Amino acid sequence: MSCEPAARSPTTPNPPPSSSPAGFPAALRARLVTPSLLVADLIVALAAMPVIDVARRRMGVVPLARWARRMGRIAPSRGPEGRSRLRRAIFGLDTRWPGGPNCYRRVLVEMALDRGAAGERLHLGIRRADNWSEGHAWLESSPGESAIYDF
């Protein structure tokens, strides 16, 4: 037996060209691009989070929502995948933010960073019991979040 590679016959087709300009197969390219875009979304959200956190303590609900909408109107528009990635980045930062997670802060950051979110209706709900009350904020496109707080 010979250790040399078998010669190609003239009828053997050439391997298909790569589907990406960088030479990566499409499945591998998707795995490489998504984390890098998530890091970019994390950086943008990290820059916006402290500004909105301070503003939500100093401004009223209506002026702050208007400000976030103005910022969002000049932000890039994202498709469903980009919007989901942005929400994951904001949620990841918010859960580790000093003072604990806050749904109102998450919604405001999303409105300020995404043109689609800036155009959506902001919902604020309050649930009261005997000795306590709690609130929740969500955007119209947030699936299933309104069920607990609808009146």
| 4-32 pLDDT, tens digit each | 545 545 554 554 444 444 555 655 555 54
Q: What is the pLDDT of residue 107?
A: 92
Q: Quick one: pLDDT at residue 108?
A: 92
The pLDDT value recorded for residue 11 is: 54
Q: Is 59 left (phi over 0), alpha (psi -120 to 50) or beta?
A: beta
Contact predicate 89/42, CB 8 Å: yes
Overall average pLDDT of the 105-124 stretch: 90
Token pair 């976030």 is found at: 68
Residue with tokens 């009223």: 60
At residue 132, the pLDDT reads 79
Which of 4-8, 28-32, 74-78, 125-129 has maximum average pLDDT? 74-78
Predicted confidence at residue 39, as pLDDT, reads 78
CA 18 to chain centre: 30
Look at 39 and 123; give whichever has higher pLDDT: 123
Rounded to 5°, angle at Cα 121 from 133 and 114: 110
Q: Is the model's pTM score more than 0.75?
A: no
Q: Among 135, 119, 116, 138, which residue's Cα sits nearest to residue 127?
A: 135
